[in-house]
Structures are given as C-alpha cells and as structure tokens.
Structure 1
Amino acid sequence: MESKDYIKDISDIKEMMTRSSRFISLSGLSGILAGVYALIGAGVAYWLVINSGREYLILNGRVFQLVMLDLILVAVLSILTAIFLTNRKAKKNGEKVWDSSSRRLVFNFLIPLVAGGLYILIILNQQKYGQSGALMLIFYGLALVNASKYSIGDIRYLGYIEIGLGLICAIYPGYGFWLWVVGFGIMHIIYGTMMYFKYERK
C-alpha cells in the first residue's frame, strides 16, 4: 500500500514540476481560428492581385499596400484571439496567464520571429522578395520549435512542418502563395483541431 502511495506522490510531484516549467493553457481553438483567418486573408490577397490585372505584386503599388494591410489584420486577429481564448482556458483551469512559464514561452517564440520579420523587411526593401514566403514559413517554424520547450511539446511538430514547407517553398518559389496557404491556413486548422480534441474536449 505504501509503495502505491509513493508512486502516486512521485507522479503528483512530476506533474507539478511540469506545470511550473511549461505553459500549458494554449487554446487549440485559437489555432483553428488562426487558420481560418489565414485562409480568408489569403483569399482576399488573391482577389486583390487577380483584379489588379497582374500576376505579381509591385512593391510600391497600391495593391501591395493592401495585401500588407491584409496580412497585418490576419496577424492581429490571430494574436487577439489567442490571447482571449488562452486567458479563458487558463482561468477555467485555475492557472495564471502571465507567469514565469508564459514569459519564457513568449520570449523564446519572439526571438526567431522578430529576427525573421526584420530580415524579411530588409530584403523587401532591397526588392528581393522572391523568398519572402519561404522565409515567413521557416522563421515561424523555428519560433514554434524554440517555444515548444516551454509549452505543449506537440507544438514542435507543427514547427517542423512549417520549416519543411518553407524549404520546399524556397526550392519552388512559384508555389509560394499556395504553400503559405497550406502552412498558415490548413496546418493551423489541423493542428488546432488535434490539440482541441487531445487536451480540451471533455
């Protein structure tokens, strides 16, 4: 009987240590909605380019500015949705949203993401925009892998897929738009659905 109690105590201690070192209140539903936002944003961008009478973007053109605004709106909506749903899930589980674990998660996620974003802006300013889609996928994937140490470990698998899609995009830049749709849209929906059913649905 005492042996079983010891095993249970060890299991409880291990769970407490895991919870204290990892932020596990990320919402799978926010991943699904981020994917939906990305698909809608991609549809809007596609419509803007097609109706401009060109098959490509001119960096100093009006359509390019609208597409950039479209991407920013997708990113902002995704972030706000993630904050709202993660905060709701954390409160439901009786957890703090902003603690040492979540700070480590955000910090390690932002390092590759900010570095990649700045690099993309630099090459866009140099009118070298053929690899921008590939770089978005690769740096986003690296950010997920880097942050996975401080959250649900399954995130790293999404990161690996994003990196792989980014490398394929670098080889076949002509398919950059569709690979972007797969990476930021479809994969987010698939990943978010898996996480929802694995961790959230009772």
Structure 2
Amino acid sequence: MKVSLIFILFGVMSLIYQPLNAQHQFSVSLFPGYNVINNDQPTSKNKQTNWVFGGTISFDKQIKNQPLSFSLSYLQGKSTIFKIRTNIGPVQPNYEVLLRYQTIPIEAFYVHSIGQKTELLTGINFTPQYRTLLYERINIKNDRLLSLGFGLSGKVKTDFATFNGGQGVLFGSVAARWTEFLFHHANGRNVDDFSLRHVVVSPQIGMSWNLN
C-alpha cells in the first residue's frame, strides 16, 4: 500500500508541474540499490543481501515540445534464500541456497520541472531478468530462469555543479522502480501461478553532457 501511494504521488505531481524546456542530454550514472520488496525470497533471513549494484545510461530529448528521457540500466544482486548448519562430521559445513539475479531495466520517462535545478521523472519500465538459484555445497544442479516484467518508474534528479563551460552537469538522484515479472522461460520447470515482484529504491550519482 505504501509503495502504491508513492507512485500515485508521482502521478499527481506529473499533472501539476509544467515540463522543462530541456536540452538534449546524454547521461551516465552509478548506483547502489535496495530491494524494498523482493518476493523471490519469502523465506530469506538475511535481509542485507537485498542490496544490488549497477549503472545507467540515458538520453534526454524533446518530442513535440515534451522533454522525455530514455534509459538503459544494468544491475546485479545476490540474496540468501536459506542457510543450514549441520552437525555431521568433525566440522559444521553451511549448506546454502543463493539467488543471483541480473536485471536490465529499459525505461521511458516524462520530464517535469520542480525547481531551477531539479526534475521529476515519471514513466514505465520493461525489464528482462536472468535469475539463478545457486546451491552451495549441495549436490543439486543450479536452477536458472529468464523472466520479463513491466512496471512503473519514478526519479527525482538534482543538479549539483556544472563543468566544461556549462556543457556538463554533475547530478544526483533517487529512483524507484516497481516491476511485475509476468512471463517466464522456465527451462522445463512448472511455473504455473509463479509470481515475481521487485520494488527497488536506488540513490544515483552521475554526469550528463548537453548535445546541442
């Protein structure tokens, strides 16, 4: 419910604020991220492994006087599903099942001004994800799954400083991405009623260049 309210707020703000007369820009940014919701791992006890890391490239362009932003990201993370400690033998080995996922979100945003140096971006995402269940010290073959998802994206971006005579900008942003993975290539497994949802929040820092 809280996440739904966040995206409703993004939608309301997008109707209130007028669009920027933005220049064409190319941007590169790096970020850590955190899976606020990750129902890949309902039994996980190791919540800090919800961290992900990655980068984004984006291109801003005006189409019919409306500033738009298109971005391609890559992020990777690894989560502990469960860990078992046994008392067999002279040592106590840990048997682990890990989830590793590689995600490539493709996003399109409307760009809106909320100040001289700040922009609000609201949009959608199409997201392929390749996930692997890794069985550590267990004689079970690793399990792989390719999923495709769709969802909503939002971002607040602020310029910190300019360089190269104002042609370059150093910026920071906070992004949120909600993706429902609906289509799965199961590699022979039964995925009837299989659901997969990710909500990722990520602070970003990067540079952009005017292309005009």
TM-score by length of 1: 0.28
**Greater RCO, 1 or 2 (C-alpha within 8 Å, sep 6+):** 1
Name the one with the larger helix percent: 1
TM-score by length of 2: 0.27
